[in-house]
Structure 1
Amino acid sequence: MIAEKTPIQPVPLMAAPQIRIVESTDIFRGQTEIMIRHEGVIYRMKITRQGKLILNK
């Protein structure tokens, strides 16, 4: 004899929080290097000749 199971209600999915996208041109403003202060520590972000980003502490 097969017992009937109560159907499980699907859990409603929460909307994913919006992730902000910032253009690098807005951050660098024509420069190839910027300094970023995070929790009191200064980081350097640089655009390489190949167009990649490097972040150093």
Structure 2
Amino acid sequence: MPPIDHDRELRRREAPVRTLTSEELFRGAQEIAIAHAGSYYRLKITRQGKLILNK
């Protein structure tokens, strides 16, 4: 019987990361605000289609 890869087994048991598409997140807007730990961050879609996060 092969040895158990404990790290792999632990990763397998973890819940999958919640994933949203940018379309779901932005809903047609080019910029959204994210409130986190008492601060606000701006997430923008650039003209080149990349994402930029600013505090």
Fold conserved between structures, TM > 0.5: yes
After the TM superposition, which segments of 4 or more aligned residues of structure 1 sit over 6 Å from their partners?
Answer: none
2: CA distance, partners of 1:10 / 1:21:
29
| Structure number with larger C-alpha Rg | 1
Return 5+ residue gaps in structure 1 as ranges: 1-8
Number of residue pairs matched? Answer: 49
Higher helix share: 2
RMSD of the TM alignment (CA)? 1.6
Q: 1:54 to 1:10 in 2, by over 3 A?
A: same
